[in-house]
Amino acid sequence: MSTPNAEAAAGEAAAPDRITGTVLRAQSGFYWVQTADVLIECKLRGKLKRTRLDTDIAVIGDEVELTVIAPGKGAIEAVLPRRSKLARRAAGGRGAYKEDVLVANADQVLLTFACAQPELSARMLDRYLVICELSALEAVIVATKVDLVGEAQARAIFAPYERIGYPVLYVSNTTGLGLDAVRARLAGRISVVTGKSGVGKSSLLNALDPTLHLVTGAVSATLNKGRHITTVAALMPLAGGGYVADTPGIREIGLWQVPPADLAWGYRELRPFLGACYFAGCSHVHEPDCAVRDAVKRGQITAERYDSYVRLRTEEG
């Protein structure tokens, strides 16, 4: 214990006792931060709010420095630089985009798609992949409900994605198939699990860690549409290590805003051909001497993925 005098001598220049932690949940101005030993409920220091007038000063996944102000309560003093971000691009003024970060520091995104019920929408999977590629986030495809179609059929459905280099994990939440591979993939990392309603995201997380008790729901049998049960995004610690955010689909959270000129880069197998077209600003849709279209003709890019690109580029997606 230092004497009052010694404390005064340390003066204003001395850094306060800051500890670091990870934001697991953010809601209505409160942030739950996991430190090495405890979960601390924090608010933002006023000075942080003044430096950035934004809703995403601190988001789930952020590493922050905080000071404890009462038992279990703290104030976030600083947000550390982000390693990655999954952001929504809202239209800003004068045609500009305003970025709204949803998850910081994610190491990977688990794109969850069912083999059936609902049937795979390749177009939607392609959109998700574009988002990951343009955010420089590692994409892992999780094919759920393998029990409904059998493993051979499941592999046939996702083979085109394995061929262009994406890892695909085949799972069944009902039989337990493939859960170990998912667990290994999640351990020690921050992961975002996303995909449309009813594909089995929450079921998957419950199967991996039964202590999570996430609410799951039946897919509407008639419409095959389902309803989003999961709305609040939070990072959940997994029993096997690592953190995971169970988020609604990308369309539902409005993540889809990609400038047309950036779209081709989001189709990874198009990259070797970009820059080799006759026209510098080639859209790869109709121009002559297009290296991308030549590659499609040679079979180096599949007609399906090229068609998917054209639809998104021409906004028929």
Ligand X SMILES: Nc1nc2c(ncn2[C@@H]2O[C@H](COP(=O)(O)OP(=O)(O)OP(=O)(O)O)[C@@H](O)[C@H]2O)c(=O)[nH]1
| Binding residues vs Mg ion (CB under 5 A) | 201-202, 229-230
Burial tier of 307 (Cβ tally within 10 Å: 0-12, 13-18, 19+): middle
Does 173 bind ligand X (CB under 6 A)? Our answer is: yes
Name the minimum Å distance from CB 182 to ligand X.
11
Does 139 bind Zn ion (CB under 5 A)? Our answer is: no
Size of the site for Zn ion (CB under 5 A): 5
Specify the residue, 84 or 144, whose C-beta has the smaller distance to ligand X. Answer: 144
Q: Which listed option, Mg ion, ligand X, Zn ion, none, makes contact with residue 242 (CB within 5 to 8 Å by class)?
A: none
Which residue blocks in the chain are alpha helix, DSSP H? 4-10, 46-51, 122-134, 146-149, 151-163, 179-186, 201-208, 260-263, 291-297, 303-313
Q: Which listed option, Zn ion, ligand X, Mg ion, none, makes contact with residue 183 (CB within 5 to 8 Å by class)?
A: none
| Token pair of 227 as six digits | 């309803």
Name the minimum Å distance from CB 164 to ligand X.
25
Specify the residue, 109 or 310, whose C-beta has the smaller distance to ligand X. Answer: 109
Does 283 bind ligand X (CB under 6 A)? Our answer is: no
Which residue blocks in 94-244 are alpha helix, DSSP H? 122-134, 146-149, 151-163, 179-186, 201-208
Beta strands per DSSP E along 2-60:
19-27, 30-34, 39-44
Q: Is 126 in contact with 308 (CB distance < 8 Å)?
A: yes
Other Cβ atoms within 10 Å of 311 Cβ, number: 13
CA distances in angstroms from 60 to 33, 156, 162, 180, listed in the order given: 9, 36, 30, 26
Q: Which listed option, Mg ion, ligand X, Zn ion, none, makes contact with residue 88 (CB within 5 to 8 Å by class)?
A: none
| Bond before 118 cis per omega within 30 degrees | yes
Among 22, 84, 108, 202, binds ligand X (CB under 6 A): 202
Which of 88, 78, 68 minimizes the C-alpha distance to 257?
Answer: 88
Does 226 bind ligand X (CB under 6 A)? Our answer is: yes
Q: Which listed option, ligand X, Mg ion, Zn ion, none, makes contact with residue 284 (CB within 5 to 8 Å by class)?
A: Zn ion
Distance, in Å, from the CA atom of 9 to the CA atom of 156, rounded to the nearest integer, reads 71
Please report, as residue ranges, which positions from 113 to 152 form the binding site for ligand X (by CB under 6 A): 144-145, 147-148
Q: Which listed option, ligand X, Zn ion, Mg ion, none, makes contact with residue 135 (CB within 5 to 8 Å by class)?
A: none
Other Cβ atoms within 10 Å of 51 Cβ, number: 10
Give the single-character DSSP code of 161.
Answer: H
Binding segment for Zn ion among 63-71, 186-194, 232-240, 292-300 (CB under 5 A)?
A: 292-300
Q: Which residue is nearest to Mg ion (CB)?
A: 202
Does 221 bind ligand X (CB under 6 A)? Our answer is: no
Which of 86, 316, 114, 293 minimizes the C-alpha distance to 203?
Answer: 114
Site string for Zn ion, 261-290 (x = CB under 5 A): ----------------x----x-x-----x
Specify the residue, 103 or 264, whose C-beta has the smaller distance to Zn ion. Answer: 264
Specify the residue, 84 or 230, whose C-beta has the smaller distance to Mg ion. Answer: 230
Q: Is 204 in contact with 193 (CB distance < 8 Å)?
A: yes
Q: Is 224 in contact with 236 (CB distance < 8 Å)?
A: no
Name the minimum Å distance from CB 52 to ligand X.
31
Does 127 bind Zn ion (CB under 5 A)? Our answer is: no
Binding site for Zn ion (CB under 5 A): 277, 282, 284, 290, 292
Binding site for ligand X (CB under 6 A): 144-145, 147-148, 172-174, 195, 197-203, 216-219, 226-230, 248
